[in-house]
Amino acid sequence: MKIIKRSGEEVGFDISKIIAAVHKANKEVEPSRRLGTKQIQTIAQNVEEICKASTRAMSVEEIQDEVEDQIMRAGAHRVAKVYITYRYKRQLVRQSNTTDAQIITIIESQNEEAKQENSNKNPLLASTQRDYMAGEVSKDIAKRFLLPKEVWEAHENGVIHFHDADYFAQHIHNCCLVNLDDMLQNGTVISETKIDRPNSFSVACTVASQIIAQVASSQYGGQSVSAYHLSKFVASSREKFRREVREEFEEAGISADEEQIQKVAEERVLKDIDKGVQTIQYQVVTLMTTNGQAPFITLFLYLDEAPEGQERSDLAMVIRSVLNQRILGVKNEKGVYITPAFPKLIYVLDEDNITETSQFWDLTLLAAKCTAKRMVPDYISAKIMRKLKQGNVYTCMGCRSFLTVYRDEKEQFQFYGRFNQGVCTINLVDVACSSMGDFEEFWNILEDRLELCYKALMARHNRLMGTKSDIAPILWQYGALARLKKGETIDKLLLNGYSTISLGYAGLCECVHYMTGKNHTDPSATPFALEVMQRLNDACAKWKQKEQIDFSVYGTPLESTTYKFAKCLQKRFGVIKGVTDKNYITNSYHVHVTEEIGAFEKLGFEAQFQKLSPGGAISYVEVPNLQDNLPAALAVMQYIYENIMYAELNTKSDYCSICGYDGEIRIVTDAHGKLAWECPNCGNRDQNTMSVARRTCGYIGTQYWNQGRTQEIKERVLHL
């Protein structure tokens, strides 16, 4: 049985420490008020049984709470007082330096929370440890004087979650849509080096990969780029190759007409496209940013972003190469092709690619094949998105965060070059449990919690106000997000809709279950769920009018925080069936992962909530291996096109390097009651010798997860 120390290190449970602590407190009171040795033993054993009954590793603080409770139950109030006083004094000592122990356990790779905080960061790497160390300092500063006390306390107690506190000390933002078009067409500067307009597609991809790395190191969220911004350079490659082929034929004395020249040149164009796409693929997965991970990058594949004609055909060639190379995968250290996490791909379904008679149906077939094998691309329905976004179709930032619709001073829609300032998430399950099922009290508590979120988001916004462009020239001076002057502040980009700031939410499913006794998929409970969502939108509208900032409701992709929220709920409210009886809570508006529901029914139900999550939302269906059943994948994709804006198909892509097994790596319970990954073929449980890829929160995770998220993955039911 394991417990979690304050430093985050996971160690074995030791009953003797409880006995020793109670004995120490016992000696401080008069003999007539002391506990007997047998009573102390019973107290310790009761606490041990409570720990064993827990579905997760309990923290030292939780165990000490249980010790206090057991002492009180034994009637030894004086002993309890001494024990509580001792805890308080120790807490004051620890508060004098809150970071040292955390940092040491990170360096020694003993911090279980840090090791499983992000499923795409390897905690053993020096660069990741350096980032985590800096994060501990940032959180300490945020806790002590950057954030309002009530906001930090609510964050610590799992009432809200102030995202990315480990980066809050710096004047940096969340995610963005890189204006790659401006940077490539008009030139940029990278590390004080002027980069001119590329003269070919492959060179444009090389430059783009460097831009991606620089942007990732200047912010803490995901970024998205358009394949169309790259495909514009196919024409430059074509022109260059035609000129070269013509010269080569002339030098060789070979007579060739324009058709022959064009044919040879076009073959070289295709090779240049493959070369460029391979550069993007391999650079992205091998680059290491300053925060110890590969860039969280999304590539947007939208045919109609290019004008009809040659430009659209060129984009189609680029998309075809992207999909083919992703189907192949990348080699691991053993030389085996596996599923890479990045770049994430988003393929837009539209009239010209959605049916067998469509012009680009072959690309949709290829996308289905890619999804069945490598879990990407994800799918945006142009048809539905136009209805929700004022006729526009554009990509999200990172995994699901969407910008609000914005017009520039010329009344032109603008999306690239814009960004998100940050996120604060409200724990809807805690709101429900705190109300004790009283609906009037629920709405009152919701208002109070929203006010906390507002304070937190304004702290995030005000931290960015006054930031000078010099802090990240690639972003603010050289085109990624703006072309401001040196010394100029970014303030104008934070107001009037140019950027967004997000009110996240989590646990709608459990919230509704607590308040109504039914899942939110039940027709009698759905109206309440929709009303909760509307209240969130109303709050954002009120704040926007007051502050001239684009607040937007965001379906939070909880990763490690799903476990944190669950632990806090269990500590505050105990285990409530269907509400707090898991080590995770449900992301955003999603149907609970254990609920039996068909793929089409799930997507159709969740579509109504995407409309109420304008700041970002994604739905998924869990499917079996569809590599030999592409018609099923295509049927889901066509349903997405007709019914929901943004969705994905979750498959599995695993490999055991010990025995070569390439089926599904399963989740089992080890001797300590902890969930572990195991190869069903050879029994291997060494995570360093297997490759497991699972959709976590929109992105594909490849570095494993905490116990809460692992339980959630284990309990997912198939929807198809």
Predicted confidence (pLDDT) per residue in 469-500, tens digit: 999 999 999 999 999 999 999 999 999 999 99
- 63 residue type, one letter: I
Per the residue annotation, which of 66, 136, 559, 606 is the catalytic one?
Answer: 559
Residue 709 forms part of a structural domain = no
Which are the contacts of 429, defined by CB distance < 8 A and separation ≥ 6? 506, 507, 510, 511, 514, 565, 569, 579, 580, 585
Judge if 293 and 220 occupy the same domain. Answer: yes
Is pLDDT at 106 greater than 60 in this prediction? Answer: no
Is pLDDT at 164 greater than 80 in this prediction? Answer: yes
Band (pLDDT 50/70/90 cuts) for residue 508 is: very high
pLDDT of residue 7: 61
The domain boundary, picked from 64, 96, 128, lies at 96
Judge if 195 and 291 occupy the same domain. Answer: yes
Is 176 labeled as catalytic in the residue annotation?
Answer: no
Q: Mean pLDDT over all residues of the chain?
A: 90
Band (pLDDT 50/70/90 cuts) for residue 118 is: very low
Judge if 73 and 194 occupy the same domain. Answer: no
Is 175 labeled as catalytic in the residue annotation?
Answer: yes
Per the residue annotation, which of 317, 396, 399, 533 is the catalytic one?
Answer: 399
CB 150 within 8 A of CB 452: yes
- 306 residue type, one letter: A
Judge if 77 and 127 occupy the same domain. Answer: no
The domain boundary, picked from 586, 620, 654, lies at 586
Is pLDDT at 544 greater than 60 in this prediction? Answer: yes
Band (pLDDT 50/70/90 cuts) for residue 6 is: low
Is 157 labeled as catalytic in the residue annotation?
Answer: no
Residue 211 forms part of a structural domain = yes
Question: How confident is the model over 609-638, as a mean pLDDT?
Answer: 95
The domain boundary, picked from 534, 554, 586, lies at 586
Cβ atoms within 10 Å of 466's Cβ, excluding its own: 11
Instruction: Specify which of 3-7, 341-345, 639-643 reaches the highest per-range mean pLDDT.
Output: 639-643
Is 554 labeled as catalytic in the residue annotation?
Answer: yes
pLDDT of residue 291: 55
| Percentage, residues of the chain above pLDDT 90 | 67
3-state secondary structure 652-679: CEEEECCCCCCCCCEEEECCCCCEEEEC
Per the residue annotation, which of 221, 417, 698, 708 is the catalytic one?
Answer: 698
Judge if 75 and 38 occupy the same domain. Answer: yes
Judge if 366 and 221 occupy the same domain. Answer: yes
Residue 688 forms part of a structural domain = no
Residue 341 forms part of a structural domain = yes
Is 113 labeled as catalytic in the residue annotation?
Answer: no
Tokens of 178: 């890189």
Band (pLDDT 50/70/90 cuts) for residue 338 is: confident
Per the residue annotation, which of 7, 209, 401, 560 is the catalytic one?
Answer: 401
pLDDT of residue 119: 45
Band (pLDDT 50/70/90 cuts) for residue 603 is: very high
Tokens of 366: 């290829």
pLDDT of residue 712: 85
pLDDT of residue 341: 81
Question: What is the distance between the alpha carbons of residues 207 and 188, in angstroms, rounded to a whole number?
Answer: 10
DSSP-H helix ranges across 27-108: 37-53, 60-73, 77-95, 100-107
Instruction: Specify which of 36-40, 69-73, 536-540 reaches the highest per-range mean pLDDT.
Output: 536-540
Is 399 labeled as catalytic in the residue annotation?
Answer: yes
Per the residue annotation, which of 26, 200, 209, 420 is the catalytic one?
Answer: 420
Per the residue annotation, which of 394, 554, 563, 589 is the catalytic one?
Answer: 554
User: Tokens 């769920």 — which residue?
Assistant: 529
Judge if 215 and 324 occupy the same domain. Answer: yes
Band (pLDDT 50/70/90 cuts) for residue 293 is: low
Judge if 307 and 456 occupy the same domain. Answer: no
What domain count does the chain have? 4
Is 659 labeled as catalytic in the residue annotation?
Answer: no
Per the residue annotation, which of 183, 397, 645, 656 is the catalytic one?
Answer: 397
Residue 137: exposure state from Cβ atoms within 10 A (0-12, 13-18, ≥19): middle
- 305 residue type, one letter: E
Per the residue annotation, which of 111, 119, 174, 179 is the catalytic one?
Answer: 174
Helices 707-714 and 561-573: angle between axes, nearest 10 degrees = 100
Q: Which helix (H) or strand (E) holds 193?
A: strand 193-195
Judge if 139 and 152 occupy the same domain. Answer: no
Judge if 116 and 89 occupy the same domain. Answer: no
| CATH number (domain holding residue 305) | 3.20.70.20
Residue 395 forms part of a structural domain = no
pLDDT of residue 124: 62
Write out the residue range of the structural domain in which residue 253 sits: 176-388
Question: What is the distance between the alpha carbons of residues 595 and 610, in angstroms, rounded to a whole number?
Answer: 19
- 338 residue type, one letter: I
Residue 406 forms part of a structural domain = no
Helices 599-610 and 630-643: angle between axes, nearest 10 degrees = 30
Judge if 383 and 529 occupy the same domain. Answer: no
Cβ atoms within 10 Å of 621's Cβ, excluding its own: 23
CB 510 within 8 A of CB 364: no
Judge if 127 and 220 occupy the same domain. Answer: no
Residue 415 forms part of a structural domain = no
What is the longest distance spanned by two Cα atoms in the chain? Answer: 113
pLDDT of residue 38: 92
Per the residue annotation, which of 175, 453, 511, 637 is the catalytic one?
Answer: 175
Helix (H, G, I), strand (E, B) or coil at 133: helix
Is 420 labeled as catalytic in the residue annotation?
Answer: yes
Band (pLDDT 50/70/90 cuts) for residue 504 is: very high
Is 397 labeled as catalytic in the residue annotation?
Answer: yes
Residue 659 forms part of a structural domain = no
Is pLDDT at 670 greater than 90 in this prediction? Answer: no
